[in-house]
Structure 1
Amino acid sequence: MAESAEGSAGTGAGRAPARGARAGRDSARRGLVRAGLGFLLRRPRTLAALAGWSALEAAHTFALGFALARALDDGFLAGHPATGLAWLSVAALGLLVGAWGTARVHRQVAQLTEPLRDELVRRVVGRGLHEAVTAVGTPGRAAGEASGTGVVSRLTHQVEIARDSFAGLVMVSRSFLFTLAGAVLGLVALAPVLLLVVVPPLLAGLAVFAGTLRPLARRQRDFLVADEELAREVGTTVRALRDVAACGAQESVRRRVERRVTAERRAADALARWGVARALALGIGGRLPVVLLLVLTPWLLRQGVSAGALAGALTYLTQSLLPALQSLVHGLGGAGARLAVVIGRLREGAPDSGGPAPRTPTPGSRTPTPRTPDPRTPSGPEVPALELRGVTFAYGPGAAPVLTGLDLTVPAGGRLAVVGPSGAGKSTLALLVAGLLRPSAGEIRVHGQPAVPGRLRAAEQLAGQRVLIPQESYVFTGSLRENLCCLLPESSAPPPGAVLLDAVEAVGARALVRQLGGLDGWVDPVALSAGERQQLALARAYLSPAPLVVLDEASSHLDPAAEEMAEYAFIRRGGALVVIAHRISSALRAELILVLDGERTCCGTHAQLLESSALYRDLAAGWAPQSRV
């Protein structure tokens, strides 16, 4: 009984937020309707002009069926072809008048849509600039300024979507109403009894569509949101592919993307199911009257309806009412839903408005916690941190090998610098060690395990044993704390702020932290320089518990003093360090130096290589000793 009561309480608690969310959406929808009506009512002259030109456009609808009926009854069927041609000329004139009215209608629609666009842009820009200004002098100042810029750049794009959707909605709604009025007047003029055949199924079709409009719009919104979330997730994943593979996070990222794909597929399926309502409404309101008109032709003829009137009614149905109904159904179901979604976000400041408050989940967005290396992984002094045995690698079967038969051992806690000319294979070696590339021959082991394990579980375990920081460092949109902790797992307590600050202090990034407004400041990758992104990535690697760190020119955008500070920070941190050096000064801070020089590749200390490697002597010739920190 206790379990049952507890379960019921949990279910009720789950329903309450759902009811609250629905109530919030309903309130927002009512607010949108009121705002829209208020916007239109403030422009009575434009509405009156739009109605007048629309009525002129509807004259074409009236003239088309009525003139055709008179051309048949009074002209061709009565043996007066001249009269028939005259009535057809009236239909042609109505077509010209309707085209003129349509051109004027577009001008009036522009008089509505452009003020809407201007008003939305003013609100968006004002809100974005307000957020940027209020961020000055507060934590997250730089993040706030970047966030305000992001609000303006992203939401002005949504303003254009809102303008186009609103224009389409006005056009299809107005066209249907005035086309319906013109057709009904024409049917009354031809034979009022025709209304009994046309109007009831038309009203039934509209009722079916009206009844399904809200759930259809909701499904359309769900699909649009799911599509945006999938695009955001895929974009983030693509930008982070190298880091994902280096950290062994392929499976978790795959699951996250798969969830987004599944959510969009379900939203698309639900939208398609409700889309059947569109076809049903069109069938009842637009096509059923045509069938009824043909089936009831004998009865209508007995009621005194002429052949011309029947032809005119058929023309009204097929050439006017059915196309107008199709435009209305698809316009309200598509553009109407998009307009409601976009306007709602512009008014309410939705999560993708670019502001820092509603932070969208990104890789590492959940509060991470530190991890310790798997105790089952051999990592004692007797197990080298890195071993290469006869490693050969070529980019393709016919390509010349970049590395040939390379043997290398880096002891646990050892420091290796890799130097060589451009194209010698330095970054290739880093990718091989990180497991992003598989050697053509030979074996690479990290703490006794294969660098490219065959099993997923082994890959996840190995991910905690190494970390690669590439030259183009990956930084994602989110808080500074999230960026620093994204390589940490979720199995233990989050690191205190003092630990994070010690890490950024160690790699020389304290000034950047102050610039961003502290650990909770917002990070915009576009607003950071390449050197600032490298500092964040170095601090992230410093916090990682991985006992093997590979820096692939990870400080190339820093000055020599900052680079030296960062490298000594990793030396003091402990563990093994492999530095792909772009300055020869990095080699002086290493215990071993690997010189990649094709067949003359060799490894040793600085003194040994000065004796044995001509290339190393050339590289070291222009180097001047730097003071150590």
Structure 2
Amino acid sequence: MDGGRFAGVREGWGFFRRRRGVVGRLAAWSVLEAGQTLLAGYAPARALDAGFLAHRPLTGLGWLGVAAVAVPAGAYGTGRVYRNVAALAEPLRDALVRRVVARGVRRAEAAAVSRLTHQVEIARDTFAGLVLLARSFVFTAVGALTGLLLLDPLLLVVVVPPLAVGLALFAATLRPMARRQEAFLTADEAIAAELALVSGGLRDVTAAGAEDRVAAGAGALIDAEYRAARRLAWWSVVRAAAPVAGGRLPVVLLLALAPWLTGRGVTPGALVGALTYLTQSLQPALQTLTHGLGTGGSRLTVVLRRLLRGADASPRPAPVPPGGPPPGAPAVELRGVTFGYGPGAEPVVRGLDLTVPHGGHLAVVGPSGVGKSTVTALIAGVLVADAGRIRVCGAPPGPPAHRVLIPQEAYVFTGTVRDNLGYLREDPVADDEARAAAEAVGAARLIDRLGGLDAPLDPAALAAGERQLIALARAFLSPAPVVLLDEATCHLDPAAEARAERAFAARPGGTLIVVAHRIASARRAGRVLVMDGPHTDCGTHQELLDRSARYRDLVGAWDGRADAEAGAEEEAPEAATGTERVGRSHPAGPL
């Protein structure tokens, strides 16, 4: 047994040990069920041998009455068993949900959707069913075998060997079934991850004419899950032989050997009682065990192994290099980067070279649809370049610890303000640190109005600008040295936008890239990247005014608004909280 399995068994044992009282109550109420099983065969046997066959009908009726009284007693015990099973199943579900949420949601795992909505529920329901099945089989078997022993020990010689063969056959299918079940769940996770990716980019798929390619990829994953389901079903058929060997074969043997048994002192009543045990107790219990525990047990084993193993073995974000990128490496570097939305589509970005030094502040401007957001998505690793090389902090893009991207539509989830602000942090955020970040980006008044850090947050009750302020404070608290603001302040007024951008620009060890929608953002930046289809230019605001006709057109399109915005920033820097005027959407213009 390897260390991982041993740890899983130890954890499972600890789970039951901590609930000894519940397990004890389950066993105590199950004794009534075992007693009913024992009397179900023993009472008719005694009714025949000591009653009706002995010409004492009242004695026979008395034994049948005892069997009848045992039925409601056993049903009462079974009802109490169901109440105690919930005390085992619900804590298991809660513990698994906490693990999946802590790992999957925080680290943005696509498979977390399948785990949380599908696999955790499988584990809870299957576990409850298995507790009922295993308990029922054990106490039913104990009652039936005890009854056979009391009737005549010779009956055990006929019943026990085929029963053992059936159980051995059932056990032999457990490992192959578990492997097939795991393959099926892996295929299900792959489909969930693919659909999560496709659903987020349907407009891009349509725009690029990639419907056939995407459909082929999704279809291949669906076919793989279908094949895994077929193999799982085949092993289920093989397992069906177990109840035949263990439940039906003893009946045939008992009938065939009846003359031999009666010749050795087995009474007719004992034979009837043995048949009753087989047909009414052991055979149904074994049938239920092999179908329920066989399929459900394999499924539970695989699901728990994936959920528990993933909790410890899932990769963590790479640590942020101290002070940002490695010595000598720029914060962001693009060399010959080309990207298009589809194999036959015209590239949106073609041969782009760009270097942003550690601590740099870059604004990206250009006409609508020219590819500004595409560049930030490439840097963030959301999109993969068709050609060229991208490095963020000296490494390929991707690790969330290196960069944080805030899009135009900010993401805020139901929970507390503190939960939202600390979403990108592995460690808890101290109150003073959270308040300092909120003050820096202009979200302090909003948080106070909401009720503080521990106040509940309802995304539907927030305006678009308020959601942007929460997202900006979250990004400010993240450990990522590179911050990408893709029109992340478009719903804030100019003063609030200026305050937020200046906070990020002054963030220790931070690098800021802003997709600008106001000319003031370009003026604040150390350098500006002008995108104009396949042509790009990069320089300071004044350098681009001198040499770039496109940039002069973009600046001139504002018709004097730039001066008004700059004046608003200087006149009311302390009022730039974004809370009073939040939700007002200023014209974005052509940038």
What is the TM-score normalised by the length of structure 1?
0.54
Give the aligned partner of residue 71 of structure 1.
47
Q: Per the alignment, in what secondary structure is the counterpart of residue 495 of structure 1?
A: strand
Q: 1:369 to 1:253 in 2, by over 3 A?
A: farther
Give the aligned partner of residue 403 of structure 2.
519
Alpha-carbon displacement from aligned partner over 1:77-127 (angstroms, at most 9, x marks no partner): 4444433322221111111111122123234434434454555566667x5
Picking from 69, 76, 95, the partner of 2:71 is: 95
Which amino acid is the alignment partner of residue 380 of structure 2?
R
Separation (CA, whole Å) in 2 of partners of 1:243 and 1:197: 70
Give the aligned partner of residue 282 of structure 1.
243
Q: Which structure is higher in RCO with an 8 Å CA cutoff and minimum separation 6? A: 1
Q: 1:264 to 1:124 in 2, by over 3 A?
A: closer
Give the aligned partner of residue 59 of structure 2.
83
Question: Aligned residues, how many?
Answer: 417
Separation (CA, whole Å) in 1 of partners of 2:113 and 2:221: 27
Separation (CA, whole Å) in 2 of partners of 1:369 and 1:351: 37
Which amino acid is the alignment partner of residue 495 of structure 1?
I
Give the aligned partner of residue 533 of structure 2.
574
Q: How far off is 1:314 after superposition?
A: 1.6
Q: How far off is 1:220 after superposition?
A: 1.3
Query: Equivalent residues in 2 for 1:142-153 (5 A)?
Result: none
Give the aligned partner of residue 189 of structure 2.
228
Q: Is this contact kept in 1: 2:337–2:389, CA < 8 A?
A: no
Which amino acid is the alignment partner of residue 519 of structure 1?
R
Q: Per the alignment, in what secondary structure is the counterpart of residue 390 of structure 2?
A: coil
Give the aligned partner of residue 134 of structure 2.
173
Q: Is this contact kept in 1: 2:166–2:246, CA < 8 A?
A: yes
Q: 1:521 to 1:33 in 2, by over 3 A?
A: farther
Q: Is this contact kept in 2: 1:121–1:156, CA < 8 A?
A: no
Give the aligned partner of residue 268 of structure 1.
229
Matched, 1:337 2:298: yes
Q: 1:313 to 1:265 in 2, by over 3 A?
A: same
Separation (CA, whole Å) in 2 of partners of 1:82 and 1:217: 54
Matched, 1:493 2:384: no
Q: How far off is 1:174 after superposition?
A: 1.4
Picking from 380, 383, 403, the partner of 1:481 is: 380
Q: How far off is 1:203 after superposition?
A: 0.3
Picking from 166, 175, 190, the partner of 1:214 is: 175
Q: 1:500 to 1:322 in 2, by over 3 A?
A: closer
Separation (CA, whole Å) in 1 of partners of 2:405 and 2:16: 42
Q: 1:204 to 1:474 in 2, by over 3 A?
A: farther
Which amino acid is the alignment partner of residue 62 of structure 1?
L
Q: How far off is 1:346 after superposition?
A: 3.9
Separation (CA, whole Å) in 2 of partners of 1:172 and 1:77: 37
Separation (CA, whole Å) in 2 of partners of 1:330 and 1:215: 15
Give the aligned partner of residue 151 of structure 2.
190
Matched, 1:48 2:7: no
Alpha-carbon displacement from aligned partner over 1:505-524 (angstroms, at most 9, x marks no partner): xxxxxxxx9xx865366999
Q: How far off is 1:494 after superposition?
A: 2.4
Matched, 1:31 2:15: no
Separation (CA, whole Å) in 2 of partners of 1:625 and 1:217: 59
Q: Is this contact kept in 2: 1:67–1:91, CA < 8 A?
A: yes
Give the aligned partner of residue 291 of structure 1.
252
Q: 1:260 to 1:356 in 2, by over 3 A?
A: farther
Give the aligned partner of residue 344 of structure 2.
461
Q: How far off is 1:230 after superposition?
A: 1.6
Q: 1:308 to 1:356 in 2, by over 3 A?
A: farther
Q: How far off is 1:173 after superposition?
A: 1.2
Query: Equivalent residues in 2 for 1:201-600 (5 A)?
Result: 201-350=162-311, 460-462=343-345, 464=347, 481-483=380-382, 485-486=383-384, 488-489=385-386, 492-497=387-392, 519=403, 526-527=411-412, 563=517, 572-574=531-533
Q: How far off is 1:147 after superposition?
A: 5.2
Aligned-residue identity in percent? 47
RMSD: 5.2
Q: 1:179 to 1:521 in 2, by over 3 A?
A: farther
Separation (CA, whole Å) in 1 of partners of 2:193 and 2:312: 12
Q: How far off is 1:184 after superposition?
A: 0.5
Structure 1: gaps spanning 5 or more residues:
1-22, 132-142, 358-367, 375-433, 435-458, 502-512, 534-553, 577-587, 591-623
Which amino acid is the alignment partner of residue 460 of structure 1?
P
Separation (CA, whole Å) in 2 of partners of 1:38 and 1:44: 10
Give the aligned partner of residue 415 of structure 1.
none
Query: Equivalent residues in 2 for 1:154-169 (5 A)?
Result: 155=116, 159-169=120-130
Q: 1:460 to 1:297 in 2, by over 3 A?
A: same
Q: How far off is 1:240 after superposition?
A: 2.7
Q: Is this contact kept in 1: 2:33–2:77, CA < 8 A?
A: yes
Which amino acid is the alignment partner of residue 333 of structure 1?
G
Separation (CA, whole Å) in 2 of partners of 1:460 and 1:273: 41
Which amino acid is the alignment partner of residue 241 of structure 2?
L
Q: Per the alignment, in what secondary structure is the counterpart of residue 209 of structure 2?
A: coil
Q: Is this contact kept in 2: 1:247–1:464, CA < 8 A?
A: no
The more displaced of 218-227 and 70-79 is: 70-79
Q: How far off is 1:295 after superposition?
A: 2.3
Alpha-carbon displacement from aligned partner over 1:190-227 (angstroms, at most 9, x marks no partner): 22221122110000111111122122122112212212
Which amino acid is the alignment partner of residue 184 of structure 1?
L
Q: Is this contact kept in 2: 1:356–1:522, CA < 8 A?
A: no
Q: How far off is 1:284 after superposition?
A: 0.9
Q: How far off is 1:154 after superposition?
A: 6.5
Q: 1:373 to 1:482 in 2, by over 3 A?
A: closer
Separation (CA, whole Å) in 2 of partners of 1:230 and 1:151: 12
Separation (CA, whole Å) in 1 of partners of 2:20 and 2:391: 61
Q: 1:479 to 1:228 in 2, by over 3 A?
A: farther
Q: How far off is 1:573 after superposition?
A: 1.9
Q: How far off is 1:465 after superposition?
A: 7.4
Q: Per the alignment, in what secondary structure is the counterpart of residue 344 of structure 2?
A: helix
Q: 1:572 to 1:121 in 2, by over 3 A?
A: closer
What is the TM-score normalised by the length of structure 2?
0.57
Q: How far off is 1:58 after superposition?
A: 0.6
Q: 1:242 to 1:193 in 2, by over 3 A?
A: same
Q: How far off is 1:257 after superposition?
A: 1.5
Separation (CA, whole Å) in 1 of partners of 2:97 and 2:314: 13
Q: How far off is 1:44 after superposition?
A: 4.0
Q: Is this contact kept in 2: 1:147–1:355, CA < 8 A?
A: no
Separation (CA, whole Å) in 2 of partners of 1:158 and 1:58: 33
Structure 2: gaps spanning 5 or more residues:
319-333, 351-366, 414-458, 469-486, 495-515, 523-527, 536-552, 556-585
Which amino acid is the alignment partner of residue 307 of structure 1?
P
Which amino acid is the alignment partner of residue 81 of structure 2?
V
Q: How far off is 1:248 after superposition?
A: 3.1
Q: Per the alignment, in what secondary structure is the counterpart of residue 494 of structure 1?
A: strand
Q: Per the alignment, in what secondary structure is the counterpart of residue 173 of structure 2?
A: helix
Give the aligned partner of residue 548 of structure 1.
none
Alpha-carbon displacement from aligned partner over 1:216-259 (angstroms, at most 9, x marks no partner): 12211221221232233234324433321212333442342133
Q: 1:203 to 1:154 in 2, by over 3 A?
A: closer
